[in-house]
Amino acid sequence: MADPESKVGEARPRRAERLEVEIDSLAQGGRGVARRNGYVIFVAGGLPGDRVIAEITKPKRRFAEARAVELVQAGAERVPDTCTHGGEPCPGAPWQGLAYPAQLAAKQQLVTEAMSRIGGLETGAVPIEPIIGADQHWRYRNKLEYSFGPGEDGPILGFHARGRWDLVVDVEDCHLAGEAGNARRNEVREWARREGLTAYDRSARKGLLRNLVVREGRRTGELQTRLITSAQKLPEPPVDLHTVIEGSGSGTDGPTGVLGRERLTEQLAGLRFEISHDAFFQTNTEMAERLYATVGAFAGLTGTERVFDLYCGIGSIGLSLAADAGEVWGVEVVAGAIQDAERNAELNGITNARFRVASARTGVRPLVEEAGRPDVVVLDPPRAGLSQKIVRRVLECGADRIVYVSCNPTTLAPNLAQMIEAGYRLERLQPVDMFPQTPHIECVALLRRHGPIRVRPDEPDEGGADE
C-alpha cells in the first residue's frame, strides 16, 4: 500500500504551475485553503466553496503558496464584489466576496484556532466572546495609502495589484475610504497630470511621484495629505500637501519640506487628538471607540490605579483611561508620537498622564524605577506581538491586570500562553471587527494575576535588538 508521505511528495507542484482546486476553508491571514492528497495549497483570492485556477508562487515540501488567477465556479455563498477597479476585485478588500455574517464567523473561528493550535490553550478553557461586528461595513477607513504608476494619460493613482509590486491599478472610488478622501486622491492625480509630473518607475528607479497618504478626520472633516516623491521641487499643489522627499536609491533622505497643515485633528472617546502625519492612529475611528470602551471595561479602573500604556502611540488609549485612573504612564518608541501624546494630554486638560520615549524592551524596568509598580498594564503592540523577553519585562511588573490589545491572533496566542504559564488567568477574550472586507482581526484580552508570578531568566543568546 502506498505510504501517505510519498503521496504528499507526488502532489508537490512546481513554481508557476496552474492547478484547478477547490477551496475548503480559510487560513490565518485570510487565504483560501485547498488540499490535494494531503498537500495544502494556500490560495490568495480564494474563498470557501470556490473552484479556482491557482498559480503556484512558492512550492514547499509540505505546502505551497498560490494566487487565484481565474474563478472557475464561485462558491455557493459568494456575494457580488462591491469594490472593483478596472473590473478586478479591490486588493484592499480580499474578503468582500463573503457576506458580512460569514466574515464574522470566519474571524471567530480563526481566533479559536489560533488559541488552540498556536497557543496550545485548551479550547474550552479560553473564554472567547462573540466578535463585536462593525457598524459600517464600507467607507470606514480614515487613512488610505495609494501608489502612483505610469498610465496612458499621465500618472495613475491606486493600489498595487495582488502580489504585484510593479503593477498599479488606477482607483476612481475606493469603497473603504470616505467620500472626501476619495475626492482628495482624485484631485491630486488630476493636478499631477495637469502639471505633466511623472510617476516613479519601480523597475527603472526613475520618475517623481511615489505614494500618497490621505487621512480624514471623520469627526472633524479635516484632511491631511502626504505625498512621497523623489524630487526636491514640485509645482504649487492644489491642496495642503506634506511633501516627503525620498532618495531614488535605497536610502531615504527624509522629510525636507512640509506644506500646509502638519497635524490632523480627530475626536475619539470624547477627547480631541492632534495627529502628526507620521504617527500611528487607529484607522477605523468609529470602531476604535468600541475597542477603547472594551479596554476600559476590562481595565476595571476605580480612580486610584497606576496604569502603564505600553506601545501608546499618540497616547489615545491611556488618555481615554486617565479620568478613571490614579495615573497613566505611556511608553512609545516614536518620539514624534510622544510629543503628540503630551500635546494631546494638555489639549484635553489631562494632568495625570506622563509619556516616555523608549522601546518596550528596554523601557519597562526604568519606568518601574521611576513610577513604581503598575496595577494595570495595557499592551497594544504591532502585528509581530511581543518577544518572549518583552513578555518577561511585563511579567516582572507583577501587575494585577494585563489588558492586551492585539491586531494578530497568531502572535497573541503564544504571548498569552507565556503569561498564563507565569501565573495569570485569561479571564476574557473579545474579538472586535475593525476591518470589514479584510481578514484582519483585533482582539482584547484580560489577564488577571492569581498568585505569585514566576518569571524565567532571560536566555543568554536572546540578542539585544529592540523588538
Ligand X SMILES: C[S@@+](CC[C@H](N)C(=O)[O-])C[C@H]1O[C@@H](n2cnc3c(N)ncnc32)[C@H](O)[C@@H]1O
Question: What are the residues binding ligand X (CB under 6 A)?
Answer: 280-282, 311-313, 316-317, 331-334, 337, 359-360, 380-382, 466-467
Q: How far is the CB of 98 from ligand X (least distance, A)?
A: 25
Nearer to ligand X, 259 or 347 (CB): 347
Nearer to ligand X, 57 or 339 (CB): 339
Helix (H) or strand (E) holding 367: helix 360-371
Q: How far is the CB of 293 from ligand X (least distance, A)?
A: 13
DSSP tag of 131: P
- Which of 312, 397, 407, 443 is catalytic? The answer is 407
**Phi, psi dihedrals of residue 395, rounded to the nearest 5°:** -60, -40
Question: 90 catalytic, yes or no?
Answer: no
CA distance linking residue 319 with residue 268, whole number of Å: 10
Nearer to ligand X, 212 or 317 (CB): 317
CA distance linking residue 338 with residue 344, whole number of Å: 9
Residue nearest to ligand X (CB): 313
Distance from chain centroid for Cα 296: 21
CA distance linking residue 133 with residue 330, whole number of Å: 29
Closest CA to 441 of 411, 467, 414: 411
Q: How far is the CB of 329 from ligand X (least distance, A)?
A: 13
Contacts of 15 (CB under 8 A, 6+ apart): 56, 57, 58, 59
The x, y and z cell numbers of residue 164, run together, are: 504585484
Spatial contact of 67 and 43, defined as CB atoms under 8 Å apart: yes
The CA-CA-CA angle for residues 355, 361, 367, to 5°, reads: 40
Q: How far is the CB of 358 from ligand X (least distance, A)?
A: 7
The x, y and z cell numbers of residue 359, run together, are: 522601546
CA distance linking residue 72 with residue 70, whole number of Å: 6
Q: How far is the CB of 95 from ligand X (least distance, A)?
A: 21
CA distance linking residue 28 with residue 51, whole number of Å: 20
**Which amino acid is located at 156 in the chain?**
I
Q: How far is the CB of 182 from ligand X (least distance, A)?
A: 24
Helix (H) or strand (E) holding 148: strand 143-149
Nearer to ligand X, 227 or 337 (CB): 337
**Residues annotated catalytic, as ranges:** 407
